[in-house]
Amino acid sequence: MRSLSGPGSSDAAIRLTGIVNAFGPHVVHDGLELTVRRGEILGLVGGSGSGKSVLLRTIVGLLRPRAGRVEVLGADLFALRPAARRALQARWGVLFQDGALFSSLTVRENVQVPLVERLGLKGPLLDELAAVKLGLVGLGADAADKLPAELSGGMRKRAGLARALAMDPEIVLLDEPTAGLDPIAAAAFDELILSLHAALGLTVVMITHDVDSLVRITDRVAVLLNKRCIVATLEELRAYDDPWLRAYFGGPRGRAAIAAGDKED
Amino acid sequence: MVAAGAWTVDHAVWLDRQVQQRLGALPASIRRLTVRLDGLDQLDAAGAWLLERSARQLRAAGVEVAFRGLSGPRARLVERVGEAAGETLLAPPVRRTWLGRELERLGATTVAMIGEALALLAFLGAIVTTLLGTLVRPWRLRLTSFSAHVVQTGVEALPIVGLLSFLIGMVLAFQGASELTRFGADIFTVNLLAISILREIGVLMTAIIVAGRSGSAFTAQIGTMVVNEEVDALRTLGLDPMEVLVLPRVLALVVALPLLAFFANVMGLLGGGLMIVLVLDIPLTLFLEQLRTAATPMQLFVGLVKAPVFAFVIAMVGCRNGLRVQGDAASVGRLTTQAVVTSIFLVIVIDAAFSILFNVLGI
């Protein structure tokens, strides 16, 4: 928990400036700016095709933007030498949409992959740390020796999260963590993220379509609109004058979720 | 005792060794231990686990342990990690001996192979039943799908089958000639070429190419549909996957493969003939005369009669493996590979059976 060791060099975990992403003539992001503060939970929303996943891939360095600068934990990601970039990669964890678990390995081995490959861990400590991470996401010993194909969707996501947490990252990026889960499992996953955020002091960036999740756990929300990005709290966004946002929060689902959230507060 | 510095996963190996050494060096008479942690710069879940584990070990030995100087969030982290470990620990994975593992695998593979052979027979029965049903009601045959598959598996395979057969014919003629000339029997190269291409090589090569090209494609196509739940969708719409997916493919291949094999025969004879005429200096007329005596309709028949059987087996294995796909995309790849291996294996076994049969019949 490096962030618990006091204020770091900068209070921004991720800073994107002037990002331009395009596929052929199709421009997805045009001069996008986004700053994620250390220790916050940021929700990332936008319509279909607005480039949420593209933005996530840009942040973790899978996609080089056509222009702009990606700064993660104070380092310019695309200017780093390969070795330094690999070291930086150990400081974030990514949960892909369906877990992206290695299908030929058991859940336990999946969590152990980064520990073995990056630290050369072996012996009892390796099994113990994997067990701790699986315990943190609420997976028991019975799930540890199963193959990903034998798990339900919700368990695959938990296992994927355990793997993302294996290297004790400071930032976790989640791509639609509650999509495809039933409401009970989705709510449980929200609680899990909240509790991990509190226990491990994580910075969380979360793509989601789930207004309930947004209301329940995010500190701020980034909205992809017109190839750019606005960041604000939910209240500010509800007052914002934009047809898409009005439809998003003003629609029956959005209103119900927000009403439920207000009642809780 | 004092713990200080960075207790993070990066240093976990070193820390683990240090902690074990220190704990081992403690006097046995100790009853209380206070660990001062105010010098701790960094602490993550891995470090928290090392603290928690040491405390557990000591408590098990009857020592009272207290952590001092742990800030609120860090204390919660240690507590949370302890809870997490409590749920899963300590159930190490089952480890078997080498012999046990290999024996278990041998047994599992044998059972799986027997089961697979039986399932393939059951699938054969299902295809035949569907086929008989279609014979009674021929309008239920999907003509569009059937013709599309004839194009994909037959017409589009013409270049590769033709080229490879042509080359094989050339090689065969050349190898045969270099031996037969030593006995002054170079004209019999034509017989060697004609008989081996027509009876065996033409159809066998075609079957192997088609197994790699179309058998695997059938598995991949149907397997992908299973993963996308398209096959379940067909069933819920009251359509029979056997009738919609399997039968058109099987029939298309049964039509296409014999035609391809005939084409392969022609190309093989062309390649071999070119070699014989150009390199061995046997005049074209003599070659054609010899070919007419060697390449009897019977030889052609003996080769081509096997083609529909091969086609049926290749299509059956391909479709069956496609329908065996379960859940994830990884199994599509595995079963596709397996479909090619199984169908080539079966093709060669059946070819051998045909040879014995023809031998007995004296053809």
Q: What are the backbone dihedrals phi and psi of residue A17, each rounded to the nearest 5 degrees, phi first? A: -130, 130
Least confident stretch, A94-103, A168-177, B308-317: A94-103
Instruction: Give yes or no for a cis peptide into A125 (omega within 30° of 0).
Output: no
Average pLDDT over residues B268-282: 90
> CB distance from A1 to chain B under 8 Å?
yes
Q: What is the pLDDT of residue A140?
A: 80
DSSP type of residue B212: I
Q: Which residues of chain A have a CB within 8 Å of the CB of B334?
A: none
Q: Report the mean per-residue pLDDT for chain B.
A: 89
**pLDDT 10s digits, A209-256:** 888 888 888 899 998 888 888 888 888 888 888 888 888 887 777 777
Contact between residue B9 and residue A119 where contact means Cβ atoms under 8 Å apart: yes
Q: What is the per-residue burial (b if ≥16 Cβ within 10 Å, else e) of A174-207?
A: bbbbbbebeeebbbbbbebbeebbebbbbbbbbb
pLDDT above 50: residue B54:
yes
Q: Which of A29-33, A216-220, A242-246, B232-236 has the lowest mean pLDDT?
A: A242-246
CB neighbour list of residue B19: distance below 8 Å, 6 or more residues apart: B50, B54
Chain A residues within an 8 Å CB radius of B91: 131, 141, 144
Residue A1 pLDDT = 39
CA–CA separation, B114 and B116 (whole Å): 5
Nearest CA in chain B to A199: B77
Residues of B in contact with A5 (CB under 8 A): 41-42
Q: Is A87 on the interface with B (CB under 8 A)?
A: no
Which 3 state secondary structure label does DSSP give A95?
strand
**What is the per-residue pLDDT across B350-363, written as a single tens digit (0 to 9) for each?**
999 999 999 998 87
Distances (CA, A) of B131 to A123, B127, B337: 59, 6, 27
Q: Which residues contact A202 (CB under 8 A, 6 or more apart)?
A: A39, A169, A170, A171, A172, A196
Q: Tell me the average pLDDT across B291-308.
A: 92
How much is the mean pLDDT over chain A? 84
Which residues of chain B make contact with A116, given a CB cutoff of 8 A?
none
Residue keyed to tokens 């003629």: B173
Hey, are the CB atoms on B330 and A104 less than 8 Å from each other?
yes
- The residue among A127, A4, A168, A162 whose CA lies nearest residue B75 is A4
Kindly identify which residue of chain B lies nearest to residue A139, measuring between CA atoms.
Answer: B88
Residue B221, pLDDT score: 94
A47 contacts A209 by C-beta, under 8 angstroms: no
| CB–CB contact B84 A132 (8 Å) | yes
pLDDT band at residue A4, thresholds of 50, 70 and 90?
A: very low
Model pLDDT for residues B179-225, shown as the tens digit of each residue: 888 888 888 899 999 999 999 999 999 999 999 999 999 999 999 99
- Can you give the pTM of this predicted structure? 0.68
Q: Confidence band (pLDDT; 50, 70, 90) for B250?
A: very high
Q: For A144, which of B85, B86, B88 is closest by C-beta distance? A: B88
The gap from C-alpha B59 to its chain's centroid, in whole angstroms, comes to 53
Statement: residue A2 has pLDDT above 50: no
CB contact under 8 A, A1 and B89: no
Q: Is A86 on the interface with B (CB under 8 A)?
A: no
Instruction: For residue B103, give how far its alpha carbon lies from the nearest alpha carbon of chain A (Å).
Output: 20
DSSP-derived pairing of the beta strands A220-225 and A41-46: parallel
Residues linked to residue B5 through DSSP beta bridges, in sequence order: B40
Residue type, A191: E
- Domains of chain B with CATH codes: 2-84 (3.30.750.24), 141-361 (no CATH)
